[in-house]
Each structure stands twice: as C-alpha cells, then as structure tokens.
Structure 1
C-alpha cells in the first residue's frame, strides 16, 4: 500500500498523482497495488518537480515490514509535524524543525 499526501503543491503534482492513484480526498492519494519499481519512479518524478520548484509538502507513506509499525516515510518540504520513532512506534511531534528537503529513502 502507498499513500501520498500533497499540500500546497503545483497543479501538475495533483494531476500526475490522480493519473496513477485513487484520490479519495483532496490532496490524498492511495494505491494498494503499486509495485516497488512504480512507487520509486513516482517518487523520483515528484522529487525532481519539487526540487525544480520547491513549493508545499509531499509525504509518501509505504509499507515496510522492517520498519516500526510496518511503515516507512519519505517527505519533500517542511511538514508541520515531524514523525519520530520512539520505543518501536512512530509519534508525531508538532512544531519540530526538519530539513526543507528530505527526498531520499529512509
């Protein structure tokens, strides 16, 4: 499963994500059938677009059995909350400072 949340991004980001994922709520995109290669290609495209015109935030949540709670995160931009690992689970930390671009895999 892959979930992408896009806030205050370019219109083409939303159009692109709607072309390959379900859009159940504004700014939220979901797919249960993307393979790892397709998911990585989508992230590569989003990363290049964001780096060319850094606007808004994009968060990708992917299934990863090796990570706490079976989830991994990728983000572009400066989210309002930071996801931190604590004692084997993820927590949200409001107002935390995070680098503006965290495009790489974690």
Structure 2
C-alpha cells in the first residue's frame, strides 16, 4: 500500500493525486497496488511541481523488504523531517 500525505499545497496536487489514488481523509491518499515505475513517476511529478512553489509538504511511504523497518519514506517540504533508523525501528526526527 502506497500512502501520500500532503499539506498546504495548491489544488492541482490534490486533483492529480485524487485521479490516481483514494483520498481517505483530507490530504491523505492511498493506493493498494502501484508499480514501482508508476510510484516513481508520481513522486517525480510531485517533486517537480513542488520545486515551482516550495510551499507545503509531501510525505510518501510504502512497504519495502529491502529497508530496515520494512518501510521506505520520501519527504519534501517544511517542516522538514529526517528518517532515523534506531536499531531497525524507523523514527521521524523533527
């Protein structure tokens, strides 16, 4: 399951994400199955748009067998967050 959480972004972000994912709560989008190539394309689109405005924040996460904690996380924006591996447990450092 891929989850994207957005905050304080232009309407086009919400429109784009709601066309390919289900918005389960305000700013929280989920998709039970998405290929890695589509996931990367979605992230690149969001990152490109974000660079134009540099407002708000985006958090994307999905299961990953290759990562400690079995979760892969990408972030953009403020407040910036750092993912820290603490003995195999992923924590978010503000």
TM-score, normalising length: structure 1:
0.82
User: 1:45 & 1:80 partners in 2: Cα distance?
Assistant: 19
What's the counterpart of residue 73 of structure 1? 73
Report which stretch shifted further, 31-40 or 75-84: 75-84
- The alignment's C-alpha RMSD in Å is 1.3
Q: Residue by residue, what CA displacement relative to the aligned partner does 1:41-68 show, whole Å, maximum 9, x if unpaired?
A: 1001000000011110000002211112
Alignment of 1:3-22 (within 5 A): 3-22=3-22
Q: Check the 8 A contact 2:3/2:31 in 1, yes or no.
A: yes
Q: Residue 74 of structure 1 aligns to a residue in which SS?
A: strand
Shift of 1:88: 0.7
What's the counterpart of residue 84 of structure 1? 84
User: 1:92 & 1:60 partners in 2: Cα distance?
Assistant: 13
User: 1:47 & 1:80 partners in 2: Cα distance?
Assistant: 14
4+ residue segments displaced more than 6 Å: none
Question: In the comparison of the two structures, how many residue pairs are matched?
Answer: 94
Shift of 1:80: 6.1
Can you give the 5+ residue segments of structure 1 that lack an aligned partner in the other structure? 97-106
What's the counterpart of residue 55 of structure 2? 55
User: 1:56 & 1:71 partners in 2: Cα distance?
Assistant: 23
